[in-house]
Structure formats: C-alpha cells, structure tokens
C-alpha cells in the first residue's frame, strides 16, 4: 500500500532542524551580496534539506523543475498556438504525476474489488510501495504557476534550471508552502537582505509558530482529538462535540504554526514570503473564510482554475465554484472525505454568493442590529467550518458519520474531556481576534532590546515552549499532502 511520507528529520520543531538552519543562516549572511555564489549555496542547502526528508524523492523534484524550465524555454521561441500546446502539456504532466501518487492506491483497491483476482496485481505491484514525495503538491503548483504566468506573459524573464530549482526547492516552503509566485521570490533572491528589523520580526514569528504547534496543536491532538476520532462511541456527546471544535483549532494552529515558522525562517534570511492565514476564524461568511484560510492555495485556485473556467463573469458561477472547490478538496488526497469536504464548501460558497446577490442592496441602518447580524454570521460560519472539518479529519466517511452520530446522540455515557482542552480551544479561537495584536506587541518589545538580550529571550522562550508542550514531536498535518 502507498504510505504517506513522514519527514520527522526535517520537522521545524526539532533540534535537528535548528542544527541544519543555523549554519545555513550564518554562511548565507556571509554570501548574500554575491548573487551567483549565494544562489548555488542556497540551492545546495535546499537539496540537502529535501534529501533529509527522503533522498529517493529528489528525482521528482528535479523532474518537476525540468518540465517547467523546458516548457518556458521552448515558449520563448514559439508562436501562440505552440505556446498553448506546451503549457497544456505541462499541466497534463503535473496532473498525471499528482494523480498517480495520490490516487493509485484508491484506484488499485477499486479495480481489485470490481474485477477480483484479475486485478490483484495492481495492489501487489511494486508501484504500490511508492510513497508520496514530500511537498509534491506544493512545489508542483508552484512550478505550474511559473509556466502559466510565462504563457500569459505575466512572468519575469525565464530562469536558468538552477535558479528555477532553487525557487521550487526553497527549504522554508518546499514541504507545506505557502505556494509562492516567481514575482515574489526572484527579485528578493537578487536584492533582498536581512535588515535590523527582520531579526525581532522573524524570531517572533518562529516563537509564535512553535507555540501554536508545540503547545496548542499538540495538546489538543494528544489530549482528545485523536482518541475521539479513533473511537467516538467511547466518549460522551459533549466530548465528541468538543473534539470537533478542538480539531478546528488544532488544524489552524498546526498549519498556521508551520507557516509562521516558515515565514520567520525566511525573514531571517532576508526573504518576505506571502502570508498564508489572516485570522480565519473571525470570518463572517464562507467566502471571507477562504480569503483568510490557506491564502496561497485559495488564490492559486482562483487565478489558475476558477477565473479560467469563467469565474463570476462567464458560464455558471455556481458550477465554476463547485468545480474549483471539489478539485481543492481532492488535491489533498483520494479519501472520499476530502471530496465531500470540498463539495460541501462549494455548496456553501454558492449559497453565500446567491445570498449576497439577493441582499446586496439591502443594508441595516441600525448599528445594534448590524452588530447582532455580524455575530450571528460569525457563529454560523464558525460552526459550518467546524462541522465540515469532520470530513477532512476522519479516515473514512464511515468514521465521519460515527463522530457526527455521537455528537447528535445527546448522551452523557462515555468518557468526558479534560478542562485544558476547553481552555486551549477557546484560546485558539481568540487568537483570530487578538493574535495579530499580540504579535505586533511582541515585535515592539523585542525591538527595543539589545541584540544579545534578544537572543537570550528567544532561547528562554523556546525552552519554555518545549517544556510546556507534551512529550514527543507530532508531524505537521499538511506534510501528508
């Protein structure tokens, strides 16, 4: 069977990553003003980092880079029609590679069940033992954006193979994003240097990410979420409901924690990468939620799928929304839960669009009524998002149904949940309202301290976070994808 790749050796919250990053940071600072030398050094660091996650996966990283490099180079010498053929071939190649690794197991099992012994070889084949290369979903989309932007003539000048490979394999983002665009990366590769303000900002981002992942996410996962989703019938309805809320906070703290660390690591190196989260649990609608959640993926789907399908101007906007969200769901994997999750978000977005068109000209003049309406919209959006996360988290649709059945059973039979889970969940939701302010306050506090004191404070904060969190290191959720 195809197993999901686990890359504990390069997990951002391990000592191993610190031992890798600190020499890279120091040497990089020394080479930063020498473009070619720094580019080759950064490429070597990127390749080493990716190899630590699984050296057998390197050929696929090289292949994706080669496909996009070759297509863009070929476009420079072709007419419009042949350019379209080249970009279409690039899209087809990426889709086939992703489809093979993500869906081979599901297709093989389906064929074996349908045709019996005649198709058993699909499961027993050596192909079934191939694992999903870590980060493939992210650097594939990044490579495609490079090629499509050049087809649209929105990109910069074409790059050498080494430069493109450096862009796709950039180690802070290669595992789980954010999905970068070439217009953001290449100008910084040549001109950006870490300034005096980058250290307090970068360190604060790293510390906030470590706290979110090492304390918040890990606590919720180990104290309740894993146990309830594994055996919901052993827990009371209150505990099952609490697990649903807790997972909503867990996945937010886990993924935004990864993003914060990636942004902080990159900023210490002089790169400012795009923000991937913008307080998503304060959204007043599903549409606003997707403007705030996994921004690099949602904007990628908008720019390279939804708008080319016709967007809101051509064809049926609701069909375009459904197609986009279903593809966004199955991008995560072959589980039917991802398909249902994406489809239900598509339905929800279609309903929101229809409601906005119906009520667009109607505004509440009374401030109190408008405020009450916002509270209702916020609560409804939060609960819909939390409910749909059940399909994302459960291993199968049957498991998702079991969790939801336990929630709606309204029974007190079974185990409860610890108070710390309730506190962590409430605090996780509160971060969507006060997290940005806390971050800015922390940066201001760090900025007034001398450099040696900043380093000491960072070291003490890391030690505190490590001791506060549970034992062991959990892999980041989105490294599965």
Residues 103 and 249 in one domain: no
- 452 falls in which pLDDT band (50, 70, 90)? confident
Asked if residue 430 is part of any domain, the answer here is yes
Q: Which of 335-349, 393-407, 467-481 has the lowest mean pLDDT?
A: 467-481
Asked if residue 285 is part of any domain, the answer here is no
In the chain, the percentage of residues whose pLDDT exceeds 90 is: 53
**How far is it, in rounded angstroms, from Cα 376 to Cα 379?**
5
Per-residue pLDDT at 368 exceeds 80 = no
Interval 169-186: pLDDT, tens = 999 999 988 999 999 899
Residues 394 and 465 in one domain: yes
Interval 379-392: pLDDT, tens = 999 999 999 999 99
Residues 124 and 202 in one domain: no
Higher pLDDT, 6 or 478: 478
Q: Which of 56-70, 312-326, 392-406 has the lowest mean pLDDT?
A: 312-326
In the chain, the percentage of residues whose pLDDT exceeds 70 is: 89
**How far is it, in rounded angstroms, from Cα 12 to Cα 399?**
30
Domains contained in the chain, number:
2
Q: Look at residue 108 in the predicted model and tell me its pLDDT.
A: 63
Q: Look at residue 338 in the predicted model and tell me its pLDDT.
A: 94
- 81 falls in which pLDDT band (50, 70, 90)? confident
Residues 170 and 260 in one domain: no
Rounded to 10 deg, the angle between the 182-191 and 35-54 helix axes is 130
**How far is it, in rounded angstroms, from Cα 17 to Cα 258?**
13
Residues 252 and 116 in one domain: no
Per-residue pLDDT at 366 exceeds 80 = no
Asked if residue 228 is part of any domain, the answer here is yes
Asked if residue 422 is part of any domain, the answer here is yes
Asked if residue 356 is part of any domain, the answer here is no
- 446 falls in which pLDDT band (50, 70, 90)? confident
pLDDT, mean over the chain:
86
Per-residue pLDDT at 8 exceeds 50 = no
Residues 186 and 215 in one domain: no
Residues 132 and 151 in one domain: yes
Per-residue pLDDT at 370 exceeds 90 = no
Asked if residue 302 is part of any domain, the answer here is no
Of 191, 210, 239, the one marking the end of a domain is: 191
Q: How many residues does the chain have?
A: 481
Is the Cβ–Cβ distance between 11 and 138 less than 8 Å?
A: no
Interval 392-426: pLDDT, tens = 999 999 999 999 999 999 988 998 899 999 999 99
Is the Cβ–Cβ distance between 179 and 141 less than 8 Å?
A: yes
Q: Indicate if 332 belongs to the active site.
A: yes
Asked if residue 426 is part of any domain, the answer here is yes
Higher pLDDT, 474 or 59: 59
Residues 119 and 248 in one domain: no
Look at residues 250, 2, 3 and name the one whose alpha carbon lies nearest to residue 122: 2
Residues 82 and 169 in one domain: yes
Residue-by-residue DSSP string for 328-376: HHHTT-S-HHHHHHHHHHHHHHHHHHHHHHHHTT-----HHHHHHHHHH
Interval 123-174: pLDDT, tens = 555 555 567 788 899 999 999 999 999 998 877 777 889 999 999 999 999 9
Residues 121 and 237 in one domain: no
Asked if residue 347 is part of any domain, the answer here is no
Of 191, 216, 237, the one marking the end of a domain is: 191
Of 191, 216, 244, the one marking the end of a domain is: 191
Per-residue pLDDT at 218 exceeds 60 = yes
Q: Look at residue 141 in the predicted model and tell me its pLDDT.
A: 94
Across the range 444-448, mean pLDDT stands at 87
Per-residue pLDDT at 99 exceeds 90 = no
Q: Look at residue 119 in the predicted model and tell me its pLDDT.
A: 52
Residues 111 and 237 in one domain: no
Per-residue pLDDT at 4 exceeds 50 = no
Per-residue pLDDT at 82 exceeds 90 = no
Residue of 57, 150, 294, 332 with catalytic role? 332
Per-residue pLDDT at 362 exceeds 60 = no
Name the residue range of residue 149's domain.
8-191
Residues 173 and 234 in one domain: no
Q: Look at residue 313 in the predicted model and tell me its pLDDT.
A: 77
């Amino acid at each position: 069977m195809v197993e999901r790749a686990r890359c504990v050796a390069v997990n951002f919250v391990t000592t191993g990553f610190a031992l890798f990053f600190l020499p890279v940071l120091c040497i990089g600072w020394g080479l930063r003003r020498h473009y070619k030398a720094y580019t080759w050094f950064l490429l070597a660091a990127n390749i080493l980092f990716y190899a630590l996650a699984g050296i057998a996966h390197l050929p696929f990283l090289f292949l994706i880079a080669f496909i996009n490099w070759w297509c863009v180079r070929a476009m420079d010498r072709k007419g419009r029609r042949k350019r379209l053929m080249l970009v279409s071939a690039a899209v087809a190649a990426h889709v086939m590679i992703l489809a093979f690794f993500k869906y081979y197991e599901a297709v093989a099992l389906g064929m074996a069940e349908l045709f019996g012994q005649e198709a058993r070889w699909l499961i027993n084949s050596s192909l079934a033992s191939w694992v999903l290369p870590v980060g493939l979903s992210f650097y594939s989309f990044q490579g495609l954006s490079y090629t499509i932007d050049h087809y649209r003539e929105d990109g910069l000048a074409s790059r050498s193979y080494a430069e493109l490979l450096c862009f796709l394999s950039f180690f802070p983002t290669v595992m789980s994003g954010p999905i970068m665009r070439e217009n953001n990366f290449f100008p910084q590769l040549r001109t950006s240097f870490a300034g005096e303000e980058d250290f307090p900002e970068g360190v604060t981002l790293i510390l906030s990410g470590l706290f979110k992942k090492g304390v918040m996410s890990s606590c919720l996962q180990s104290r309740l979420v894993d146990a309830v989703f594994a055996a919901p019938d052993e827990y009371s309805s209150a505990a099952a409901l609490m697990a649903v809320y807790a997972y909503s906070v867990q996945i937010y703290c886990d993924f935004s924690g990864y993003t914060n660390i990636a942004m902080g690591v990159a900023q210490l190196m002089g790169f400012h990468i795009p923000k991937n989260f913008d307080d998503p649990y304060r959204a007043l609608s599903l549409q606003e939620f997707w403007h705030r959640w996994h921004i690099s993926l949602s904007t990628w789907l908008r720019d390279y799928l939804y708008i080319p399908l016709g967007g809101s101007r051509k064809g049926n906007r609701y069909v375009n929304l459904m197609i986009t969200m279903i593809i966004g769901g199955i991008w995560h994997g072959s589980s039917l839960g991802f398909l249902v999750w994406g489809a239900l978000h598509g339905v929800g977005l279609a309903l929101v669009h229809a409601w906005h068109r119906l009520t667009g000209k109607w505004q509440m003049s009374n401030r109190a009524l408008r405020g009450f309406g916002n509270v209702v919209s916020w609560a409804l959006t939060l609960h819909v998002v939390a409910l749909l996360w059940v399909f994302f988290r459960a291993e199968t649709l049957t498991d998702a149904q079991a969790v939801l059945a336990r929630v709606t059973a309204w029974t007190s039979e079974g185990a409860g949940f610890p108070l710390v889970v309730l506190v962590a969940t409430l605090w996780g939701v509160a971060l969507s309202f006060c997290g940005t302010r806390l971050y800015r306050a922390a940066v201001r506090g760090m900025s007034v301290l001398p450099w040696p004191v900043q380093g000491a404070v960072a070291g003490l904060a890391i030690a505190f976070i490590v001791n506060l969190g549970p034992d062991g290191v959990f892999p980041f959720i989105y490294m599965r994808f």
